[in-house]
Amino acid sequence: MHEMSLCESVLQVLEQQAQLQQFSRIKTVWLEVGALSAVEPEALRFCFGSVAQGTLADQARLEIIEIPGLAECAACTARVAVQQLYDVCPNCGSFQLRIIDGDQMRIKELEVE
């Protein structure tokens, strides 16, 4: 459910940027969503469509760039790919994985007119 409030936050940023950067309509929004962020891309897509209705982003295309999870192991210092927060280091078996990428939710770029 919090995908709805995330979409509202996205829209607030878009409206703010529209004033700053002088555009009136948004055709495409690129979001970076990490595999380890607490966001479901499909739910985000669904919510964005309804939140954007009647706004400057009405009918805008939502492009979600999924960023894979990356962690550094505190035990063996290896950099490893992670799919879940409870993954184990494939190198040494430790759970001491520090997430270094793939937990972001960012608005990256817009196509506007």
Partner 1 sequence: MCGVCGCGQDHAHDEQHEHQHHDHQPAGHSHAPGLSPSRMVRIEQDILAKNNLYAADNRRYFGERGILALNLVSSPGSGKTTLLTETIARLRADLPLAVIEGDQQTSRDAERIRAAGAPAVQINTGKGCHLDAHRIGHALHSLALEPASVLFIENVGNLVCPSAFDLGEAHKVVILSVTEGEDKPLKYPDMFRAADLMILNKTDLLPYLEFDSTQCIAYARQVNPRLRVLCLSAKTGEGMDDWLCWIKAALMLQGIGYPST
Binds partner 1 by CB under 8 A, chosen from 23, 41, 78, 80? 23
- Shortest Å distance, C-beta 31 to partner 1: 7
Q: Please spell the DSSP secondary structure of 54-69, one letter per residue.
A: TSTTTT-EEEEEEEPE
* Biggest CA-to-CA distance, the chain: 53
Crossing angle of helices 2-20/41-52, nearest 10°? 50
Counting contacts by CB under 8 A, is residue 86 touching partner 1? yes
Q: Which residues bind partner 1 (CB under 8 A)?
A: 1-2, 5-6, 9-10, 12-13, 17, 20-21, 23, 27, 31, 37-39, 74, 84-86, 88, 95-96, 104-113
